[in-house]
Amino acid sequence: GENVEQHPSTLSVQEGDSAVIKCTYSDSASNYFPWYKQELGKGPQLIIDIRSNVGEKKDQRIAVTLNKTAKHFSLHITETQPEDSAVYFCAALGAGNQFYFGTGTSLTVIP
């Protein structure tokens, strides 16, 4: 089945700097890649997604890039703010229409 790896597990950045989180996947048939943000005590919240027919997608300060050949995709957050501090999960839609999640990245934005 699909295997999703996510790095780094923790990330600290200064407010205003950029943050990048990377994921790799194993199943070349995967075609949908969402990113979720999870704040303490809350469920994962979808923040951006990308489909395999697109290389990049942007939504204000958040962007996701996808390299199908290399089977990796990345989340980019620019001009980080303290409220961006959370755990971020990547996921890939694999065989059987199941989501396979990464292990999560705990992002801390230091004011």
Partner 1 sequence: EPEVTQTPSHQVTQMGQEVILRCVPISNHLYFYWYRQILGQKVEFLVSFYNNEISEKSEIFDDQFSVERPDGSNFTLKIRSTKLEDSAMYFCASSEVRASYEQYFGPGTRLTVT
**Binder among 25, 35, 73, 100 for partner 1 (CB under 8 A):** 100
52: Cβ–Cβ under 8 A, 6 or more apart, which residues?
A: 30, 31, 32, 33, 66, 68
Q: Least distance (Å) from partner 1 to the CB of residue 17?
A: 27
Q: Least distance (Å) from partner 1 to the CB of residue 6?
A: 9
* Binding segment (CB under 8 A) for partner 1, from list 15-23, 34-42, 61-69, 71-79: 34-42
- Site for partner 1 contains 10 (CB under 8 A): no
Which tokens belong to 32?
């949908």
Nearest CA to 34 among 49, 45, 46? 49
Q: Least distance (Å) from partner 1 to the CB of residue 99?
A: 5
Separation of first and last alpha carbons in the chain: 41
Other CB atoms within 10 A of residue 91 CB: 24
For partner 1, the binding residues (CB under 8 A) are 4, 31-32, 34, 36, 41-46, 49, 51, 89, 91, 93, 96-104
